[in-house]
Amino acid sequence: MGRKVLITGGAGFVGSHVVDAHLAAGDDVTVLDDLSTGRRENIPAGVRFVHADVRSPEARELVARGGFVLLNHHAAQMDVRRSVADPLFDAGVNLVGLLNLLEGARAGGLRRVVFASSGGVVYGERGPFPLLETAAKLPVSPYGAAKLASEYYLATYAHLFGLETVALRYSNVYGPRQRGDGEAGVVAIFGRRLLKGEALTIFGDGEQTRDLVYVTDVAEANVAASRRPLAPLDGIDAHAFNVGTAVETSVNRLAELMGAAAGRAPQVAHAAARAGELPRSVLTVDKAARELGWRPRTALADGLRATLRFLAED
Ligand SMILES: NC(=O)c1ccc[n+]([C@@H]2O[C@H](COP(=O)([O-])OP(=O)(O)OC[C@H]3O[C@@H](n4cnc5c(N)ncnc54)[C@H](O)[C@@H]3O)[C@@H](O)[C@H]2O)c1
């Protein structure tokens, strides 16, 4: 049997691909998820599934007594707007939920934690772009503040209890199984509208940029982060890795590329710019290449085609 791995949020978009990648690496995977946004059918048959909330005593006990060597933490409340409307709920799930699991890890002597952080929210708006891991941290939402605080808690647990902790700071992840109703999934939203022949809504002038990384590449970064030796702990950035492509794509260009991938010219509707939307977002990924041996492999056009194929069948 392979390494015993617990993946929270494994019924969700990114987490389910992380499950696939760990299974492919020969690991023995358990998923913990409350199915609030995740789907049971995203979890492959044969994978042990625990239906629980990350804030529950049951989740803490599972981490403490499950005999896992690795906790991969993807469960989260993902909605930035909801975090602004209800920061207590956001911190309850995203920060206190993590602490609950870390207390289990401390009790159970688990070795390593890989955490899904976000380059789109911990760095804020200032740059300089493309962003290095050491760039200033200026979260502009409670969601971002909780992600950054989570990284500090992880570093504190590493320092106090010798837990090995890694934070992966994703750019904008896209690909199959992404829901189209959230605000984060521009590719999923555009894809569904395009296939229905509906207009794509572009907020503002459409020149805002994103760093779009394909989900299976992100999943591979998780497996790499679960295995590689880590540098000595020296602040949160020592064990943080940007996971993106370093390629900047404007929303206008994305609409064009998706039209090309779908073989139809997209109809575009323009709407007023949304408050709080980042004008620019792009991450350097040299550190992950150097220290994790990881690089994004999927060209945007190929990833978009695969995503559209999935959406057409979903
Ligand atoms: N999608 C992106 O572009 C992106 C970018 C940066 C970071 N992330 C991070 O990656 C992780 C996964 O995001 P995603 O896009 O796959 O979202 P998602 O909503 O598809 O996945 C989140 C999963 O967590 C589960 N969950 C939510 N609250 C829970 C709780 N209280 N207890 C147990 N399970 C719970 C949901 O049911 C879902 O399966 C999150 O931590 C997110 O912050 C995602």
Q: For atom 21 of ligand 1, which residue has the closest CA? A: 12
54 lines ligand 1 (CB under 6 A): yes
Domain spans, the chain = 4-172+212-243, 175-211+245-313
Residue 125's pLDDT band (cuts 50, 70, 90): confident
pLDDT value of position 90: 98
Q: Note if the pTM is more than 0.85.
A: yes
Q: For atom 19 of ligand 1, which residue has the closest CA? A: 37
- Known catalytic residue at 143: yes
Question: Same CATH fold, 175-211+245-313 and 4-172+212-243?
Answer: no
pLDDT value of position 133: 98
Whether CATH 3.40.710.10 fits 4-172+212-243? no
Answer for the pair 122, 133: CB distance below 8 angstroms, yes or no.
Answer: no
Q: How many helices (H) and strands (E) does the chain have?
A: 12, 13
- Cα–Cα distance for residue pair 176/309, rounded to 1 Å: 9
The string of pLDDT tens digits covering residues 4-25 is 999 999 999 999 999 999 999 9
**Which of 19, 16, 51, 46 lies closest to 32, judged by CA?**
51
pLDDT value of position 30: 98
Answer for the pair 55, 82: CB distance below 8 angstroms, yes or no.
Answer: no
pLDDT value of position 126: 87
- The answer to whether residue 151 scores a pLDDT higher than 80 is yes
104 lines ligand 1 (CB under 6 A): no
Q: For atom 11 of ligand 1, which residue has the closest CA? A: 74
Residue 76's pLDDT band (cuts 50, 70, 90): very high
Question: pLDDT > 90: what percent of the chain?
Answer: 90
- CA–centroid distance, 142 to ligand 1, in Å, is 16
Residue 295's pLDDT band (cuts 50, 70, 90): very high
Look over the chain and give the mean of its residue pLDDT values, rounded to a whole number: 95
What is the position in ligand 1's atom list of the atom closest to the CA of 75?
A: 24
What is the position in ligand 1's atom list of the atom closest to the CA of 174?
A: 3
pLDDT value of position 172: 96
pLDDT value of position 249: 98
pLDDT value of position 184: 59
CATH topology of domain 175-211+245-313: UDP-galactose 4-epimerase; domain 1 (3.90.25)
